[in-house]
A and B are shown apart, each in its own frame.
Chain A
């Protein structure tokens, strides 16, 4: 429960910045890599600092899984360290890519409507399909906006759990 304020404010911030992007003429904050990278690095450094503060040098047990033969241990430790370092990248890119891809799809389909509308009556009839798709994609984007905020929060909890109980 110690990290509840951090996790909850992360969730609310990401949810609101995802949801705001669905409203036309607004800017999606979380579709920019620097914003999500800053959030992921915040989580990463929280894990690092709190892990060392709470566990001291025992935090390094995170990189040494138990029950590994000694002759492949150095290799495994290298892989574990790289796996740990790759966390903030995958953590941030996931949210950024989902938001960016969703909004680009939405904008492309919405621009089909206006482009077809320029062809007169035939174009208007043809524009019904992309218009329907835009409506459907907006619903999908609502789902994705919520889901990605949830996924980011769950992964934050998993990483914080590593900081509190390393070597499990």
Chain B
């Protein structure tokens, strides 16, 4: 259960951060909805990267991606 919680929280955190940054950019720059779209996708990528790192698929930072 601890491992499952760890992996899921990594993914959710990545998407959440992307969502918040995109939303904030939309608010400040008035480019709704493009900031949200772009940063949500980037956040999803970051979340997947986090999960892969946490699972040890790309554990070594030199060989990452």
Instruction: Report chain A residues within 8 Å CB of B64.
Output: 65
Given the complex of chains A and B, what is the CA–CA distance between A97 and B2 in angstroms? 10
Instruction: Report chain B residues within 8 Å CB of A94.
Output: 5-6, 9
Instruction: Report chain B residues within 8 Å CB of A82.
Output: 14, 17-18, 21, 39, 42-43, 45-46
Nearest chain A CB to B54 CB, angstrom units:
9
- B1 is an interface residue with CB less than 8 A from chain A: yes
Nearest chain A CB to B39 CB, angstrom units:
8
Q: Are A98 and B5 in contact (CB under 8 A)?
A: yes
Instruction: Report chain A residues within 8 Å CB of B62.
Output: 65-67, 168
- B47 is an interface residue with CB less than 8 A from chain A: yes
Number of interface residues of B (CB under 8 A): 25
Instruction: Report chain B residues within 8 Å CB of A78.
Output: 42
Instruction: Report chain B residues within 8 Å CB of A86.
Output: 10, 13-14, 16-17, 43, 46-47, 50
* Interface flags, B4-43, vs A, CB<8A=1, else 0: 0110011011101110010000000000000000010011
Please classify how large the interface on chain A is, using the bins under 10, 10 to 19, 20 to 34, 35 or more: 20 to 34
Given the complex of chains A and B, what is the CA–CA distance between A83 and B47 in angstroms? 7
Instruction: Report chain B residues within 8 Å CB of A151.
Output: 2, 6
Given the complex of chains A and B, what is the CA–CA distance between A75 and B17 in angstroms? 16
Q: Are B1 and A68 in contact (CB under 8 A)?
A: no
Chain B residues in contact with chain A, CB under 8 A? 1-2, 5-6, 9-10, 12-14, 16-18, 21, 39, 42-43, 45-47, 49-50, 61-62, 64-65
